Amino acid sequence: MAISRRNFLKCAAFTAGGAVLADNPFVKATAAAAMKKEVKHVPSYCEMCFWRCGLIARVEDGRVVKLDGNPLHPQSRGRLCAKGNAGMGLLYDKDRLKTPLIRTGERGDGKYRKASWNEAYAYIAEKLNGVKKKYGPESVALFSHGSGGQYMGNFLEAFGSPNHSHPSYAQCVGAREVAFTLTYGQGPASTAERVDMANSRVIALFGSHLGENMHNSHNQDFVDGLGNGAKLIVVDPRYSTAAGKASIWLPIKPGTDLALILGWINIVIQEKWYDRDYLEKYATGFEQLKEAVKEYTPEWAARETDLPKGDIVEAIRELGRYKPNVVVHPGRHYSWYGDDTQRGRGLAILNALLGTWGRKGGLWLPPKVNLVKMKQTLKYPKPRRESLAFGDYPEAAGGITTEVRRATIDGSPYPIKAWFVIGTNLMKTLPAPEKTKEAVKNLDLLVNIDLMPTDMVMMSDVILPTTSYLERHDALAIVTQKNAGIAIRQPVVNPWKNVKPAWLIAKELCDKMGLGKYVAYNTLEEQMRQQAKLWKIDYNELVKTGYIPVADSYHPYITEKNQPEFATDSKKIELYSSTLDNDNMDPVPKFTRHKEPPAGTFRLIYGRSPVHTFSRTMNNKWLWQLKNENEVWLSATVARRLGIDNGEKVFLVNEKGVRSNVVKAKVTERIREDCVYVIHGFGSTSKRMTMTYGRGIDDTQMMSHYATDPISGTNGLRVNFVKIVKES
């Protein structure tokens, strides 16, 4: 413990038997506090993660001193999570990008020179014009995550390229959206998953580790549900925080979730737990489903999943008993094994059989809103070539990052020569990161727009520093909880001197490229005011309260008057999917076994810490102090066999020989013997991220393999096997 001068004086004072008041900084601080501070409370919404909770910033003399949840906003309800509470750690991060940078050395060697915005734009414009001339405008691609993506997306379209992709699709939630759209004609989430956990009698989770995966109101609903007496069934190879609350924990063999789901579907049908009236009214394909799943007996499911048959049967009966006020959570991160659309179909079908869609405690119906977003006044040019970001996948419903990367490497169907990346650290997001590096080598231009010097940012030719969510406006947000509402993001403090919000960067780039006519406003706020007017909302009121509900939008449950609509071909819930049949895919999910870890290796699974969002928050000192390194979770039985003690230093080696950083082993009873687990997002390779550089295992680095879902084109990321090695 360091002894400060004050400490020393204190000790001296103590021995002398008196207090040295004159030197007491607390007295000074109090005196300073007495001087009138300018205190403001400014509402906005959070983007420490993408739940986007309403917040109220307490600002003293132009500095954010506290962030609280906005009680009006239904996704915070007056509360913020650990990340939301630590927003100033991002705002005031000393490692933030402060000025535009242009590369001077080789790509990746970290040598940059400071540049003016004008210089940076000029550099970008010249390169873009070159790419356009030689390859066509479609050879420019955008990767985006978060609020800034929309403005850069507009820029991309104005420029004439359709190649916009998002890791949130292929590396996350894409397969779920496809699966539920095939079944119900829409996904199970609007901005937030429409899971009515607060009112559920029984909640079943497949790997959704609520508590560790911190989405604010979703967790509030979860706990409220448990508090209201809901029974909880958790399917997870790891004894997650949620599993710790479960009445039935099913420690499933990784990769066999679909076997359990199909087994459950079969039991529901055989034991007649399904909601017959509901199915008659709303669903089609029951007979075909019944026929297709009859081979999936409980005995079979028990064998495949390595779960006790009795537990499997008891769990589904529990759901059946309390239907329709139950829910099998649709989940969020879907990129597991490459047959994820079919797993999602299984979950969608199970919910349909139990009649949960539109039922209390099940999946609520989206609020009814008639809010048109302002149209682009001037039509964007039509690209000559189709987007290549959807690959050849019959039901791809979002830009697939790994398709754009592939095209960048092999040039087919046409070359991609420039990347814009905003708000996503692709090196920690896309599997097989060596391929990302390979693709980057082929680029004529790589631009990153970000706050922090992440791994991906440090590969750029040009780095454009942007504002945090606390320093900017963003287009008015439509919040769709059971009630709809409008939320505002506005600067709570002035932005850092030389950084710009994404909307301004996109606008200025358009101007520079002679595309200024596509941007119809001078400031985004101008457009926000127009939008508010169009929606008949008092903008000034919104500025003050942060959130305004949309009247009469609450229609969560099916009633005689409130009937659900299904935008499928049959206008019904499709238990049997004719679309998939046409695609030559299984119209009812079938189970195929996945490769199992060869002897001496473990399947690498990964998850979240409640105090971190992907790899975005690891350098935030207030979150860093809560979790600054991950550890490898390893079964105690295996650890004994390998002679690894709890806390001992270990590293992982994957099948391609890729070696991870060294971390501590967490030897625990809380995980099966056939897998190891790490929290995602650690192991930054960027030296400029001074808090987090080199700390922890980067799970993405260990994902040399990935599977591809033939229906949605999304990735399967849980297909890598690793050895665990002691450091010494």
Partner 1 sequence: MKRYAMVIDQSRCIGCMACISACVQENKVPFENFRTRVLEITKGKFPKLRTELRAELCNHCDNPPCVDACPTGASYKRDDGIVLIDRNKCVGCKACIAACPYDARYINEEYGYADKCTFCEHRLKKGLEPACVATCIGKSRVFGDLNDKGSEVSRMLAENESRVMDKAAGTRPRVHYINRYPTKR
Residue 44: CA count within 13 A, CB half-sphere: 27
DSSP string spanning 386-406?
A: --STTTT-TT--S--HHHHHH
Binding of partner 1 at residue 50 (CB under 8 A)? no
Binding of ligand SF4 at residue 215 (CB under 6 A)? yes
* Residue 143: strand pairing partners: 165, 421
Binding of ligand SF4 at residue 245 (CB under 6 A)? no
Binders of partner 1 among residues 216 to 275 (CB under 8 A) are 216, 219-220, 222-224, 226-227, 229, 232, 239, 241-249, 251
∠ CA 294-299-305, nearest 5°, is: 100
Nearest distance, CB of residue 367 and ligand SF4, angstroms? 19
CA distance 138 to 131: 9
CA proximity to 395, closest of 545, 177, 590, 227? 177
* Contact window for ligand SF4 (CB under 6 A) among 76-84, 140-148, 253-261, 266-274: 76-84
* Contact window for partner 1 (CB under 8 A) among 9-17, 354-362, 473-481, 568-576: 9-17
Nearest distance, CB of residue 68 and partner 1, angstroms? 7
Among ligand SF4, partner 1, none, partner that 398 touches (CB below 5 to 8 angstroms by kind): none
Q: Which is nearer to partner 1, 369 or 632 (CB)?
A: 632
Burial string for 569-591 (b: 16+ CB within 10 Å, else e) reads: eeebbbbbbbbbeebebbbbbeb
> Do the strands 140-144 and 418-422 form a parallel or antiparallel pair, or are they unpaired?
parallel
Among ligand SF4, partner 1, none, partner that 385 touches (CB below 5 to 8 angstroms by kind): none
C-beta separation of 430 from 172 below 8 A = no
Q: Which is nearer to partner 1, 80 or 707 (CB)?
A: 80
Q: Which of 181, 216, 402, 700 binds ligand SF4 (CB under 6 A)?
A: 216
Binding of ligand SF4 at residue 623 (CB under 6 A)? no
CA distance 80 to 49: 11
Binding of ligand SF4 at residue 616 (CB under 6 A)? no
DSSP string spanning 532-596?
A: HHHTT--HHHHHHHSEEEPTT----S--SSS-----STTSSEESS-HHHHHTTS-SS----PPPP
CA proximity to 513, closest of 140, 164, 145? 140
Among partner 1, ligand SF4, none, partner that 11 touches (CB below 5 to 8 angstroms by kind): partner 1
Binding of ligand SF4 at residue 83 (CB under 6 A)? yes
Q: Which is nearer to ligand SF4, 502 or 703 (CB)?
A: 502
Binding of partner 1 at residue 690 (CB under 8 A)? no
CA distance 55 to 69: 4
∠ CA 105-106-110, nearest 5°, is: 65
Binding of partner 1 at residue 11 (CB under 8 A)? yes
Binders of ligand SF4 among residues 318 to 357 (CB under 6 A) are none
Binders of ligand SF4 among residues 15 to 54 (CB under 6 A) are 46, 48-49, 51-53
Binding of ligand SF4 at residue 56 (CB under 6 A)? no
Q: Which is nearer to ligand SF4, 166 or 489 (CB)?
A: 489
Among ligand SF4, partner 1, none, partner that 53 touches (CB below 5 to 8 angstroms by kind): ligand SF4
Binding of partner 1 at residue 334 (CB under 8 A)? no
With CB atoms as reference, the residue minimizing the distance to ligand SF4 is 84
CA distance 483 to 479: 8
DSSP string spanning 21-74?
A: GGG-HHHHHHHHHHSPP-EEEEEEE--SSSS--EEEEEEETTEEEEEEE-TTST
Q: Which of 56, 81, 88, 487 binds ligand SF4 (CB under 6 A)?
A: 81
Q: Which is nearer to partner 1, 2 or 34 (CB)?
A: 2
Amino acid, single-letter form, for residue 299: E
- Report the first-to-last Cα separation within the chain, whole angstroms: 30
Q: Which is nearer to ligand SF4, 183 or 480 (CB)?
A: 480
Size of the site for partner 1 (CB under 8 A): 71
Binders of partner 1 among residues 378 to 417 (CB under 8 A) are none
Return all residues near 470 (Cβ < 8 A) that are at least 6 apart. 44, 57, 64, 87, 88, 90, 91, 491, 492, 493
Binding of ligand SF4 at residue 622 (CB under 6 A)? no
Binders of partner 1 among residues 172 to 211 (CB under 8 A) are 210-211
Binding of ligand SF4 at residue 86 (CB under 6 A)? no
Binding of partner 1 at residue 34 (CB under 8 A)? no
Interface contacts to ligand SF4, rule CB under 6 A:
46, 48-49, 51-53, 80-81, 83-84, 214-216
